[in-house]
Amino acid sequence: MSEMYTYLDAAWTVEARKRLEAALDPEKMNGITTSMADIYEACPDGKSRWLFVQCEGGKLARFDVGEGEPPEAEFRIVGSYATLAAISKGELGSQKALMTGRLKLKGNMAKALRLAPLADRINKVLSTIPSNY
């Protein structure tokens, strides 16, 4: 049986980074260089957290989770824990969440919509991690 991880904790972050590094092909990621900080509001413990992803040349350059102020990013996406967890589970598409107002974006909206399929590719990998949410 697979190990269960607690979503967004240190062990989950290590596992997520490992899976993303193995799964993200720079060619399929269109050689993109970008960064994104997802801000999780109203986490189950009452805190706010962030998840930071940075790609350089289509390769994962940085993947971190933390509390407090997130690193500077090209895109900053703010949403509830429930919404962002649903995206990570593969239950909700990031583009649909943006277009229905469940997420707030700071950054270039046109570029974000063009990059949505790449974000969905990342979330597809994250959805494979057996997690307690």
Element (H, E) at 22: helix 10-23
Q: Let me know if residue 28 belongs to a domain.
A: yes
Q: Let me know if residue 27 belongs to a domain.
A: yes
The radius of gyration computed from the CA coordinates of the chain, to the nearest angstrom, equals: 14
Q: Let me know if residue 80 belongs to a domain.
A: yes
In terms of residue numbers, what domain contains 63?
5-128
Spatial CB neighbours of 19, under 8 Å, sequence gap ≥ 6: 125, 126, 128, 129
Tell me how many domains the chain contains: 1
Q: Let me know if residue 133 belongs to a domain.
A: no
- The angle, 0 to 180 degrees and rounded to 10, between the axes of the packed helices 109-126 and 10-23 is 100
Record the pTM.
0.90
CATH number of the domain that 44 lies in? 3.30.1050.10
Beta-sheet pairing, 75-80 with 34-41: parallel
Instruction: Output the tens digit of pLDDT for each of the chain's 133 residues.
Output: 579 999 999 999 999 999 999 998 888 788 889 999 999 999 999 999 999 999 999 899 999 999 999 999 999 999 999 999 999 998 998 888 988 999 999 998 888 878 887 888 899 999 999 999 9
Q: Let me know if residue 10 belongs to a domain.
A: yes
